[in-house]
């Protein structure tokens, strides 16, 4: 495990992580460091009060946008009156992801420091939100993530209404498929995401896919 010290630190090879995927400790969440990390398949994940932990898991969960599975319940949800928006209230989305379902500020990995860092990336045109709103203009679900090349790195999602986060994922996949994105990095395997069509791949496969995706220009700016 590597300790990142100073302002000009360099991330180690992503293949050097331990068995659980922990690669490095320390550093900061400056925009250029976050972009450098994601371009190497590395992401930050840590609890409030602990040092910044950087991860490169031996297995990765990827979802091809055109392989998204629409369940019967999601089809019904999409028929409900709703409004879909992109990048209209990014800060509200990341705040909701941090606090929904009873998660308080001290019990989430989306710390105030993380929120500030990704809001900065949003202003720079790299981080994006997909949002579901009610007809009464209330935010009821959404997700956010980071875009580089033809790769989208999903970070978190939330819902206040049933299936609203899945609806946001549906619109994300439909949008990215239209833009010929290669994959959505869902990071760690979960039964929920696998039910939507995500598949587990090993790190070497993921890093190759990432390298290929980064040969394309980044769709930077507001979506």
- Please name the residue ranges forming H helices in 101-140: 112-123
DSSP assignment, residue 208?
H
User: Is the same domain home to 125 and 46?
Assistant: no
Supply the pTM of this predicted model.
Answer: 0.95
User: Is the same domain home to 69 and 49?
Assistant: no
User: Is the same domain home to 119 and 187?
Assistant: yes
CATH number at residue 88: 3.40.630.70
**Sign of the CA dihedral running 48, 188, 177, 137:** negative
Determine the distance from the C-alpha atom of residue 71 to the mean position of all C-alpha atoms in its chain, rounded to a whole number.
22
Query: Which residue segment(s) compose the domain that 16 sits in?
Result: 2-58
User: Is the same domain home to 88 and 123?
Assistant: yes
pLDDT tens per residue, range 24-78: 999 999 999 999 999 999 999 998 889 999 999 999 999 999 999 999 999 999 9
Other C-beta atoms within 10 Å of 208: how many?
11
Ramachandran class of 143: left when φ > 0, alpha when ψ lies in -120 to 50, beta otherwise: beta
Query: Can you read off the two tokens belonging to residue 125?
Result: 């045109």
pLDDT tens per residue, range 65-121: 999 999 999 999 999 999 999 999 999 999 999 998 644 444 478 999 999 999 999
């Amino acid at each position: 495990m590597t300790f990142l010290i100073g302002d000009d630190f360099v991330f180690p090879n992503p293949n050097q992580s331990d068995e659980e995927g922990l690669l490095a400790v320390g550093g900061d969440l400056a925009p250029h460091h976050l972009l450098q990390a994601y371009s190497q398949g590395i992401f930050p994940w840590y609890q409030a009060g602990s040092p910044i932990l950087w991860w490169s898991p031996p297995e990765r969960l990827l979802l091809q946008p055109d392989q998204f599975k629409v369940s019967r319940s999601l089809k019904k949800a999409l028929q409900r009156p709703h409004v879909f928006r992109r990048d209209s209230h990014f800060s509200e989305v990341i705040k909701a992801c941090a606090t929904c379902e009873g998660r308080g500020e001290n019990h989430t990995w989306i710390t105030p420091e993380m929120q500030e860092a990704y809001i900065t990336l949003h202003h720079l045109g790299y981080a994006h939100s997909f949002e579901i709103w009610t007809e009464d203009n209330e935010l009821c679900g959404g997700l956010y993530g980071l875009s580089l090349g033809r790769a989208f790195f999903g970070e978190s999602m939330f819902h206040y209404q049933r299936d609203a986060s899945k609806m946001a994922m549906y619109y994300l996949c439909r949008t990215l498929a239209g833009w010929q994105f290669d994959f959505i990095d869902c990071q760690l395997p979960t039964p929920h995401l696998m039910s939507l069509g995500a598949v587990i791949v090993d790190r070497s496969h993921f890093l190759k896919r990432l390298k290929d995706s980064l040969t394309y220009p980044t769709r930077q700016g507001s979506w």
